[in-house]
């Protein structure tokens, strides 16, 4: 019996779940537009990374068969492209319906041909004056143009009656649409189509998706060479093979053959429509266009608050040294963490600070606080992972800035990416303050993602944290830790041991976890055995889920929920046992890459009050009916019944944060 689901099919079914959320009238219109933007961005990244990775594998092993589904890899790639195109069509239809509803709210996109001659003349005159006179048409050889085209960039082109192609470049990039008044807008693409139709030219836009799955293995031998290697990889990404093209044109049947003849793409990889929307651009425009006073179109503003476990009038450091605390983003403010570092920078008894960084905000306040700590004489060591995909350039910039400020910069180990979220503050008297997080030190995502930050003065955890940082400093993996579960050392074997411990309890056993993804075969096989022994297993998994739940004789007691709502569920926490459970939180999902091919940390939670809080958060998340779907044996997301309950876990914690009420 096959108990596994294909990981890429599972991910696309999650993306469909996000797309379905965009159709739900329970959300304000601009938030539904944001879901469409996420779906569109997800599909592009999926093509660039996952399709790219699979194509690379297919080139190496043309006869490769997927172990989860038993299907040849080439067949899977075709199926994935077909599913992506279906989702794009579904997204297009959902977007049209959304814009129709938006027009009922008084915001209209109109066609040029629907305008009066006077309005059309005024619009064209404005467009010429503000944008078109500052543009130029450059004749291109289509073959050369394709060869140098960048990935994930939308190009504007025209095809003349003589089948000559010109690229249109604007010195000042026009907006997505131009306003006729406060409530009526005309898309710039519609203006350009009308303009060139008058000269019998065919205007179109095209977007190329290249393989972005660039391996960094073997690119460098020593950590000092990593910045140079990263620049090389970023350049290499611009010349990778094409995976898909997206063509928008009313003349697609005339234009598409010109690209087909010059590219190796066929079938489902060629996506062409006459009214495709770039929801990344459209959502940005709508968000800027619609005034904040039209509040019904957005979620009510949420201002993260001071953590309820903390007294705002007292020293943050002293409170943590006295009692462990849990910060729960986005309900608690990330500013508290920045103020913790600021306070440490000002205290004479603080000696050193260590931090791992995977992703940072584009304009990071955290970097400024770390620089200030160094300026105040503290030793500041930043272990920065330059290989965080699509953030390589940003991380390289901040590495240079922090180093210029006098911070000690270490780069993630050359073998595997450093994904752990760890901060350590050491004192002159030997005490430590450790923070273990589930999400990045990123003030923007801390307002949009649910994450945990666990802060403790536990000496053993602090000692392990220092050993972890020391192992990165000397480029040496320590064999064991007393408290932390660390990958790639022993995290996986320790998790398997915890699962097996619950298996031995049979129907008295209990396992629960909230993560982003699960793909590891050994973990899934252990969960099958635990379920067969009678262990109740509750999992909240946001996206990829590769084990069929509630399969008779195998996973009868394994139930899976997924939550998709206002905030992106990003926290990772594990429970083993029902009464006084062992609880761990940290950066690792149950994916093979996290457990064996990355540097990850899960931290045990010893404090009874923090354990109670985490248990309460998981239980309330499991009770959610407003944003929760159950994943069935086919991997489909089926919305849970709201017949007897209409409970939103996001609204529940927002309400408590607003009232500054404790939830324990």
Beta bridge partners, 327, equal 453
Give the chain's residues under pLDDT 50. 216-223
Whats the size of the chain, residue-wise?
A: 664
Fold of the 7-290 domain? Methane Monooxygenase Hydroxylase; Chain G, domain 1 (1.20.58)
Distance separating alpha carbons of residues 328 and 616, to the nearest angstrom: 12
**What pLDDT does residue 218 have?**
45
Which class does domain 323-473 fall in?
A: alpha beta
- How far does the chain reach from its first CA to its final CA, in angstroms? 44
**What pLDDT does residue 104 have?**
94
Contact 627, 564 (CB under 8 A): yes
Distance separating alpha carbons of residues 437 and 603, to the nearest angstrom: 9
**What pLDDT does residue 236 have?**
63
**What pLDDT does residue 223 have?**
42
Distance separating alpha carbons of residues 197 and 177, to the nearest angstrom: 19
Nearest to 538 by CA among 518, 562, 558: 558
**What pLDDT does residue 393 have?**
85
Going along 54-201, which residue ranges are E strands? 108-109, 135-140, 154-159, 165-170, 177-179, 184-187
Q: Give ∠ CA 234-240-242 in degrees, rounded to 5.
A: 135
Element (H, E) at 449: strand 449-456
The answer to whether domain 323-473 and domain 490-659 are alike in fold is yes
**What pLDDT does residue 221 have?**
44
Block residue for tokens 């003849």: 261
Quick check: pTM over 0.75? yes
Dihedral over Cα of 56, 60, 65, 71: its sign: positive
Contact 594, 523 (CB under 8 A): no
Element (H, E) at 636: none
Residue 633 phi/psi, 5-degree rounding, is -70, -20
**What pLDDT does residue 263 have?**
84
**488 preceded by a cis bond (ω within 30 of 0):** yes
Beta bridge partners, 435, equal 423, 455
Which class does domain 490-659 fall in?
A: alpha beta
Domain residue ranges of the chain, discontinuous segments joined by +: 7-290, 323-473, 490-659
537-596 pLDDT, tens digit each: 999 999 999 999 999 999 999 999 999 999 999 999 999 999 999 999 999 999 999 999
**What pLDDT does residue 96 have?**
92
**What pLDDT does residue 220 have?**
45
**What pLDDT does residue 222 have?**
45
Q: Which two tokens stand for residue 374?
A: 């160094």
Going along 516-644, which residue ranges are E strands? 536-541, 558-563, 568-569, 573-576, 582-586, 598-604, 628-631, 637-639
Residue 210 phi/psi, 5-degree rounding, is -100, 160
Q: Residue 32's Cα: distance from chain center in Å?
A: 18
b/e 531-547 (16+ beta carbons within 10 angstroms → b): bbbebbbbbbbbbbbbb
Q: How far is CA 652 from CA 572, 616, 625, 634, in A?
A: 19, 12, 12, 31
Distance separating alpha carbons of residues 401 and 159, to the nearest angstrom: 46
């Amino acid at each position: 019996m096959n108990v596994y689901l294909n990981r890429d099919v599972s991910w696309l079914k999650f993306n469909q779940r996000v797309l379905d959320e965009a159709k739900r009238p329970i959300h304000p219109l601009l938030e539904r537009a944001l879901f469409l933007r996420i779906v569109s961005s997800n599909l592009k990244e999926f093509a660039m990374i996952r399709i790219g990775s699979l194509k690379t594998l297919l080139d190496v092993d043309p006869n490769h068969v997927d172990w989860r589904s038993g299907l040849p890899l080439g067949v899977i790639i075709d199926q994935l492209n077909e599913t992506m195109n279906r989702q794009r069509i579904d997204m297009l239809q959902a977007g049209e319906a959304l814009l129709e509803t938006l027009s009922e709210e008084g915001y209209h996109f109109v066609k040029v041909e629907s305008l009066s001659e006077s309005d059309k003349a005024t619009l064209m005159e404005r467009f010429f004056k503000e944008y078109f006179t500052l543009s130029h048409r450059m004749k291109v050889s289509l073959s050369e143009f394709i060869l140098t085209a960048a990935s994930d960039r939308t190009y504007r082109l025209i095809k003349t009656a003589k089948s000559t192609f010109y690229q249109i470049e604007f010195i000042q990039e026009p907006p997505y649409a131009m306003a006729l008044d406060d409530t009526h807008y005309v898309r710039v693409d519609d203006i350009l189509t009308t303009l060139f139709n008058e000269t019998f030219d065919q205007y179109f836009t095209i977007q190329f998706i290249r393989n972005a799955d660039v391996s960094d293995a073997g690119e460098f031998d020593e950590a000092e060479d990593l910045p140079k290697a990263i620049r090389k990889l970023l350049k290499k990404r611009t010349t990778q093979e094409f995976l898909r093209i997206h063509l928008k044109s009313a003349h697609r049947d005339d234009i598409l053959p010109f690209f087909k003849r010059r590219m190796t793409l066929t079938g489902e990889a060629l996506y062409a429509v006459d009214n495709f929307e770039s929801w990344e651009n459209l959502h940005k425009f709508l968000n800027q266009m619609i005034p904040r006073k039209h509040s019904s179109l957005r979620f009510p503003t949420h201002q993260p608050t001071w953590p309820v476990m903390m007294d705002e009038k007292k020293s943050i450091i002293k409170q943590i040294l006295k009692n462990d605390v849990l910060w729960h983003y986005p309900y608690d403010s990330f500013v508290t963490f920045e103020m913790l570092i600021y306070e440490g920078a000002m205290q004479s008894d603080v000696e050193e600070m260590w931090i791992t960084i995977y992703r940072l905000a584009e304009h990071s306040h955290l970097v400024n606080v770390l620089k200030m700590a160094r300026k105040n004489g503290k030793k500041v060591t930043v272990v920065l992972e330059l290989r965080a995909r699509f953030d390589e350039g940003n991380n390289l910039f901040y590495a240079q800035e922090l180093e210029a400020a006098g911070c000690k910069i270490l780069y993630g180990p050359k073998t595997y990416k450093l994904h752990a979220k760890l901060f350590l503050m050491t004192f002159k008297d030997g005490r430590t303050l450790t923070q273990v997080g589930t999400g990045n030190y990123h003030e923007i995502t801390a307002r949009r993602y649910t994450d945990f930050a666990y802060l403790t003065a536990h000496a053993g955890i602090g000692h392990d944290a220092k050993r972890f940082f020391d192992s990165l400093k000397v480029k040496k993996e320590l064999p064991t830790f007393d408290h932390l579960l660390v990958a790639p050392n022993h995290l996986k074997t320790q998790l398997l041991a915890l699962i097996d411990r619950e298996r031995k309890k049979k129907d008295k056993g209990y396992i629960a976890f909230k993560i982003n993804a699960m793909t590891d075969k050994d973990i899934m096989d252990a969960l099958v055995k635990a379920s067969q022994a009678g262990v109740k297993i509750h999992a909240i998994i946001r996206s990829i889920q590769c084990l069929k739940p509630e399969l008779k004789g195998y996973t009868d007691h394994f139930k899976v929920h997924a939550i998709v709502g206002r905030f992106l569920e990003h926290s990772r926490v594990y429970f083993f046992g029902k009464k006084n459970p062992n609880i761990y939180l940290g950066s690792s999902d149950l994916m093979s890459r996290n457990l064996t091919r990355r540097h990850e940390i899960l931290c045990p939670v010893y404090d009874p009050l923090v354990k109670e809080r985490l248990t309460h958060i998981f239980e309330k998340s499991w009770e959610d009916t407003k944003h929760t779907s159950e994943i069935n044996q086919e991997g489909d997301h089926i919305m849970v019944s709201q017949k007897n309950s209409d409970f939103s876990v996001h609204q529940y914690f927002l309400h408590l944060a607003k009232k500054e009420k404790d939830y324990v």
